[in-house]
Amino acid sequence: MNLFGATKHLKDYTGDIVFFKQLASAMVLNGSCFEQGLDDATNGQTSLLENILGPFQPIVDCFVIKESRIQNLVTTMLNRMSIDQTGTYYQKDWASQKRNLAQKVEEISQNLCVNLLQVISDIYVKSQELYQLGCRESANNDICHGRNNRTIDMHDIQLLAMEVKECQQRLDVAQNVDEHHAIEEDMIGKILLVFWKGICSEVEQVVSNVVARIINDTTVHPDVLSCRAALLQDLGEILENARAGLPDDYQVRLWQIMQDARSGISKHEIQLVQPTAPEKVR
């Protein structure tokens, strides 16, 4: 099972996700061990979980999304739309594009990245509203003009990564099985949150830039821009309506663990204030 690998199905809309390469400057992540470690931890085994983490190194505060990536995605999207100079699109071709997207959405629904659809949908759905509000004429509106920041802030992610290492240190000195399992769950939640925050930040920046440039192209007639905005909203509604619940108990559990980490809920702290008669770690 590939927990975050469904991003490949959105490559035509987001480009290749580069966050994981950037994260490698802070944590040595062994992708092949990551999911096995989660499986083992869920089953009460932790021997491979330590393989997920490696030595800490200084992390860059941010990374910048390449201009070429944005422009390539804009070109790909415009080719899909097939809008002529009068602002008319070919309905048959567009229906095919929508079916293709729906197919990809079905693949993503089997993965934790199903919730990423909401991030993309929110941006697409606002496309027509932005255009109708006259963003094309708003000289000071950087978002509408496709000059919004292409920089991904890594500071919060770095802090989370440090918390993961702190969990590892506590895990090494855990006194009993219950404490061991509670720390494991905290650590898994933080690892998932590191990945999730990074992916969401990158996707949000990329899609926002792409949409802004598509609806603010001063080289085409306003009718063409209006049609582009309408089709983007169309895609957003497909994503919004296609979102499904996570498919199995295992992924629901992992999602809840990550949400607990986001909310600052620590199973270890709860376990410390509600002691039981624990079994010692052997």
* Cβ-Cβ contacts under 8 Å for 132 (sequence gap 6 or more): 229
The CA-CA-CA angle for residues 22, 146, 14, to 5°, reads 45
Q: How many residues does the chain have?
A: 282
Strand partners, 176: 280
3-class DSSP state of 278: coil
How far apart are alpha carbons 173 and 176 in whole angstroms? 9
| Phi-psi category of residue 255: left, alpha or beta, with phi > 0 → left and psi -120 to 50 → alpha | alpha
How far apart are alpha carbons 179 and 46 in whole angstroms? 13
Question: pTM of the predicted model, to two decimals?
Answer: 0.76
At 280 the pLDDT is: 53
**All structural domains of the chain with their residue ranges:** 5-270
- Is 61 exposed, middle or buried, given 0-12, 13-18 or 19+ CB atoms closer than 10 A? exposed
| Phi-psi category of residue 218: left, alpha or beta, with phi > 0 → left and psi -120 to 50 → alpha | alpha
Could you list the pLDDT tens digit for every one of the 282 residues in the chain?
455 655 777 888 899 888 877 766 545 444 444 444 444 444 444 333 344 444 444 455 667 788 999 999 999 999 999 899 889 999 999 999 998 888 888 777 666 777 788 889 999 998 888 887 765 444 444 444 444 556 666 778 778 878 888 888 888 888 888 888 899 999 999 988 888 888 888 899 899 999 999 998 889 999 999 999 999 999 998 888 766 555 567 777 888 899 999 999 998 888 888 755 555 555
Kindly state the helix (H) or strand (E) to which residue 62 belongs, with its residue range: strand 62-64
| Nearest in space to 185 (alpha carbons), one of 263, 267, 125 | 267
At 2 the pLDDT is: 55
What is the DSSP secondary structure assignment for residue 137, as one 8-state letter? G
How far apart are alpha carbons 274 and 52 in whole angstroms? 29
How far apart are alpha carbons 243 and 4 in whole angstroms? 16
Dihedral of alpha carbons 142, 206, 241, 237, sign:
positive
